């Protein structure tokens, strides 16, 4: 069966005509994509929509991708015969973009798949590649939100090295600088609850209100806190201290960065932008990295590392 627009329309009617999409529907579409190869845009949209419904929207609680489902999706996308690369990337990015909490393993898998597609494909970072990178690199994981991981930072350096002479999207350099800067200077504040915690909170909110004594006993007694004291002041102060500490580029971070800058013997445009970003944003930088920055003009174009 060719995976054309007509086929996609028929499949959509079959899947959603019975109600919500289920994992069996998703498995069927994935099997078809592996067997048939090239697909129409309509089929690709259907596959991504069903994957999002099954793995993100129809779970309990919604929007929290479960680890088991993430593992299942990775296995489906990497099984023998594999889902075509661009189709698999579309599914991954749309699923991750739709969730409020993603297992770190799924985000890491997404980054490596995009890296592979860039390096083995056009050999440059296209606007679509950059949008996909933004989605997975800043995915809200179960550990933190908007914080770049070591795995993502390593992948971005490999992409920058592999495309050093390519006609990358002009926005890649800035994205690269901010993402690596985020890894080096950011704080992985935990913001998303686990699915179990989210469900517990949801059940508590939906439960019938208890007697007045039971209700107030389940809450923090703010009556003992003076009116002029912020109940979040201690946490805010701790967060501010953690942020200030993280913004310092210490010796270990400097060594990690220098090793990657020297790996191919040349500082690329993206890496040069990163150095300017760190120089402007970090309150203190380890001497080894400061010395490298001072060894050449940080605003200069690509040049050898001294």
pLDDT by 10s per residue, the chain, length 306: 678 999 999 999 999 999 999 999 999 999 999 888 778 999 999 999 999 999 999 999 999 999 999 999 999 998 776 788 889 999 999 999 999 999 999 999 999 999 999 998 889 999 999 999 999 999 988 655 668 999 999 999 999 999 999 999 999 999 999 999 999 987 554 444 556 555 554 454 455 544 444 433 343 343 444 555 455 666 566 656 666 677 899 999 999 999 999 998 889 999 999 999 999 999 999 999 999 998 754 545 555 554
- What is the Cα–Cα distance from 280 to 293, expressed in whole angstroms? 12
pLDDT on residue 220: 38
Judge contact between 11 and 29, C-beta under 8 A: yes
The pTM assigned to this predicted structure is 0.80
Judge contact between 110 and 149, C-beta under 8 A: no
Report residue 249 CA to chain centroid gap. 23
* Burial environment of residue 114 by CB neighbours within 10 A (0 to 12, 13 to 18, 19 or more): buried
Judge contact between 70 and 103, C-beta under 8 A: yes
Phi, psi (rounded to 5 degrees) for 103: -55, 135
């Amino acid at each position: 069966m060719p995976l054309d627009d007509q086929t996609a329309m028929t499949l959509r009617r079959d899947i959603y005509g019975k109600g919500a999409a289920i994992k069996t529907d998703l498995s069927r579409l994935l099997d078809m994509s592996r067997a048939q190869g090239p697909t129409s845009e309509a089929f690709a949209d259907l596959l991504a929509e069903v994957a999002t419904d099954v793995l993100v929207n129809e779970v309990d609680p919604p929007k929290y991708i479960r680890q088991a489902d993430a593992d299942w999706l990775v296995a489906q996308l990497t099984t023998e015969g594999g889902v075509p690369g661009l189709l698999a990337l579309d599914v991954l990015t749309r699923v991750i973009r739709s969730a409020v909490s993603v297992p770190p393993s799924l985000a890491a898998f997404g980054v490596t798949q995009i890296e592979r597609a860039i390096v083995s494909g056009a050999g440059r970072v296209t606007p679509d590649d950059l949008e996909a990178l933004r989605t997975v690199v800043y995915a809200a994981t179960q550990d933190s939100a908007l914080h770049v991981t070591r795995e993502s930072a390593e992948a971005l350096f490999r992409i920058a090295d592999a495309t050093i002479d390519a006609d990358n999207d002009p926005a890649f350099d800035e994205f690269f600088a901010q993402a690596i800067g985020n890894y080096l200077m950011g704080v992985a504040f935990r913001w998303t609850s686990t699915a179990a915690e989210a469900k517990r909170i949801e059940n508590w909110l939906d439960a019938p209100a208890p007697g007045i004594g039971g209700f107030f006993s389940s809450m923090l007694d703010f009556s003992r806190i003076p009116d002029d004291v912020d109940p979040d002041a201690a946490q805010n102060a701790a967060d501010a201290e953690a942020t200030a500490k993280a913004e310092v580029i210490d010796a270990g971070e400097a060594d990690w960065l220098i090793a990657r800058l020297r790996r191919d013997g040349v500082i690329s445009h993206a890496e040069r932008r990163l150095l300017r970003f760190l120089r402007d944003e970090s309150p203190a930088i380890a001497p080894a990295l400061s010395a490298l920055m001072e060894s050449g003009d940080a605003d200069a174009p690509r040049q050898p590392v001294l």
